[in-house]
Amino acid sequence: MKHRWTSWLRTLALLAPLSLLPLQLAAQTATFDLVIRNARVLDGAGNPWVKADVAIEGGRFAKIGHVTAAGKREIDAEGLYLSPGWIDMMDQSGAVLLVNGLAENKLRMGVTTAIGGEGGTPPADGKRELQDGASDVGAYFARLQQGGISINFGSYFSATQARMAVLGSDARAPNTDELARMASIMGEAMEAGALGMTTALIYPPSSYATTDELVALATVVGRAGGLYASHIRGEGKELVQAVSEAIEIGERASLPVEIFHFKAAYEPGWGVLIDKAISQINTARERGVDVAADVYPYTAGGTGLEATVPSWAHEGGSNALKKRLRDSKIRDRLKREVETGSPGWWNIIEAAGGWDRVVLVNARNESNAWLENKSIAEIAQLSKKHPADAAWDLVLEGEGRVMGIFHMMSEADISRALAEPWVSIGSDAGAALGNGEGDGLGLPHPRAYGTHPRVLAHFVRELGVLSLEEAIRRMTSWPASRMGLMDRGLVREGLWADVVLFDPETITDRATYEQPELYPTGIHTVIVNGQVVIENDRHTGKRPGKVLYGKGHR
């Protein structure tokens, strides 16, 4: 019996190599769509890099480690770092992507996923205003996917969109029936795939909404699994109160809160206000409120010059505002209020520290183009006008939204905010149309071309505010987790393969306030859902991006 058993084992041992041979041959000949060799892999979770090959198949990470099989295409990443694609948590590309889905400026700075919608989800035709009923959220997403996009994109729906559908631009509170209609619109938007609800509370008519109104709408959003994201009611000396309101809305409505472009935009409060606001957020988090924020790494913001006009004058929309600006008596009142303050209005001139810190960057008028890149104080001196008159005349003469750069923040405050583990990165800029006007909003600002590279070049390499591993976490797994994108943000087998290959020693943001449309250096290759979209400093023309739907999507 023992002899038979020994004989059988010997036979099995002889046959085993033969039986494994087909499997070994299959392993040697099997191919992946793409294999990236010899990369220093930063997984996105904050771990130190590991040397590995990364194989991609069907748009997803298929193997990470030692890959023996060949790739239909291979990239040698020796000396380069590989990270998950970077996420822009505060994007303005919503309308632009309907016209140009390539988003080259976003991709060239490593952004593979963008979260838009501060102003809401655009109508599907990109032009008309939202009317009664839910927005075109579903139709918008369908058109976006049908036209093809090169980045992944998800969008919030704005409380202001629901408000305008019911109240127009009226500066009043809704009655019970009107509020119910607004809540219904918000619910339908969530079912169509919106990621949550936004407000932009320094801008009318969003600024007309009360806290109670926003809580009622946010409650609907929370039940659908969405977030409340806000350009809060004030970012200057009102910062602490404005952050408190955002936290209150999240706490009462039981949903996460994202504070857009977190900043202390008020020079007398630099070094103080940001610490108080951070303390507020940490205290709220300790008691269980899911609140976080995003920042952009620049000391200047940008918006329309109409933001320098007190809020009440905006009631009725743009035409009504312009009519008031043409009335000399009303204009005199508005100028006094710029000096003394106006109820419910964040004084952005006070926040900037004066008209000399506000720079015209897009006049929307050929006759006034020569004034671009001059401060409003300079323009006022040249035209022999009061600075407010100079700014508001530009608004009246512009064909579209006249844009300005507002120098308001300190780099020390930005560094302080970046030190908090719940802070992510958002550009507050859109994809570009390539028409020399910066992003699709018509705002020439370096953040549209350099945001994420600047974090790595300046705040990691030069200042040491963050480690490289932590900065990548803030740009990948943390925002992905925050937005419920559980199949992105990490280099893990089975997840969607969004990838940036870069050199941390040479990555540099080149865009400046004077030359805002310069692409960064140091980014070698960008991959979206397994397809190469940026290589050799060029867009490949591919559009593998996907629409990202919220948890309430049906």
Write the pLDDT tens digit of every residue in 249-280. Answer: 999 999 999 999 999 999 999 999 999 999 99
Report d(CA 462, CA 72) in Å as an integer: 39
Report d(CA 216, CA 210) in Å as an integer: 10
Choose among 90, 98, 91, 173: nearest CA to 128: 98
**Residue type (1 letter), 88:** D
What are the strands of the beta sheet with 358-362, ordered from one edge?
A: 300-304, 403-407, 358-362
CA 476, 59, 52 angle in degrees (round to 5)? 65
Strands (DSSP E) found in 79-213: 81-84, 86-91, 111-116, 152-155, 157-158, 196-200
Residues 6+ apart with CB under 8 A from 379: 360, 371, 385, 387, 390, 391, 394
Average model confidence (pLDDT) across the chain: 93
- Report the pLDDT value the prediction gives residue 123, as an integer from 0 to 100: 84
Residue 60 CB neighbours (<10 A): 17
Q: How confident is the model at residue 436 (pLDDT cuts 50, 70, 90)?
A: confident
The mean pLDDT value for 20-48 works out to 78
- Report the pLDDT value the prediction gives residue 30, as an integer from 0 to 100: 65
Contact 277, 248 (CB under 8 A): no
Alpha-helix runs per DSSP H in 376-437: 376-383, 387-397, 411-418
pLDDT in tens, 335-355: 999 999 999 899 999 999 999
Which range among 3-7, 41-45, 200-204, 492-496 shows the weakest confidence by mean pLDDT? 3-7
Q: How confident is the model at residue 69 (pLDDT cuts 50, 70, 90)?
A: very high
Residue 133 CB neighbours (<10 A): 11
Contact 404, 305 (CB under 8 A): yes
CA 9, 15, 17 angle in degrees (round to 5)? 115
Distance of CA 270 to the CA centre of its chain: 24
Helices 239-253, 211-223: inter-axial angle, 10-degree rounding: 40
Calculate the alpha carbon distances from 475 to 154, 193, 234, 252, 421 in Å.
Answer: 16, 23, 26, 29, 12
Choose among 293, 310, 301: nearest CA to 243: 293
Contact 88, 426 (CB under 8 A): yes
Q: What is the 3 state secondary structure string of 259-310?
A: ECCCCCCCHHHCCCHHHHHHHHHHHHHHCCCCEEEEECCCCEEEEEHHHHCC
Report d(CA 241, CA 311) in Å as an integer: 18
pLDDT in tens, 478-521: 999 999 999 999 999 999 999 999 999 999 999 999 999 999 99
Residues 6+ apart with CB under 8 A from 59: 496, 497, 529, 530, 531, 544
Residues 6+ apart with CB under 8 A from 40: 49, 50, 51, 77, 80, 81, 82
Q: What is the CA radius of gyration of the chain?
A: 26
Is residue 2 classed exposed, middle or buried when 0-12, 13-18 and 19+ CB atoms within 10 A define those classes? exposed
What does the DSSP 8-state code read for residue 496? B
Report d(CA 405, CA 389) in Å as an integer: 18
User: Is the confidence at residue 5, as pLDDT, over 50?
Assistant: no
Proportion of the chain above pLDDT 90, given as a percent: 89
Q: How confident is the model at residue 29 (pLDDT cuts 50, 70, 90)?
A: low
Backbone angles phi, psi at 300, to 5 degrees: -125, 140
- Report the pLDDT value the prediction gives residue 72, as an integer from 0 to 100: 96
- Report the pLDDT value the prediction gives residue 429, as an integer from 0 to 100: 97
Contact 435, 293 (CB under 8 A): no
CA 320, 321, 326 angle in degrees (round to 5)? 100
Residues 6+ apart with CB under 8 A from 304: 395, 401, 402, 403, 404
Report d(CA 75, CA 91) in Å as an integer: 30
The two structure tokens encoding residue 110: 């490593």
Proportion of the chain above pLDDT 70, given as a percent: 93
> Which superfamily, per CATH, for 83-296+423-432+446-539?
Metal-dependent hydrolases (3.20.20.140)
- Boundaries of every domain in the chain: 83-296+423-432+446-539, 304-407
Instruction: Give SS3 for 188.
Output: helix
- Report the pLDDT value the prediction gives residue 135, as an integer from 0 to 100: 62
Q: How confident is the model at residue 126 (pLDDT cuts 50, 70, 90)?
A: low
The mean pLDDT value for 314-334 works out to 96
User: Is the confidence at residue 420, as pLDDT, over 80?
Assistant: yes
pLDDT in tens, 163-181: 999 999 999 999 999 999 9
Residues 6+ apart with CB under 8 A from 133: 165, 185, 188
- Report the pLDDT value the prediction gives residue 119, as an integer from 0 to 100: 92
Contact 56, 527 (CB under 8 A): yes
User: Is the confidence at residue 143, as pLDDT, over 60?
Assistant: yes
For CA atoms 500, 501, 507, 510, the dihedral sign is: negative
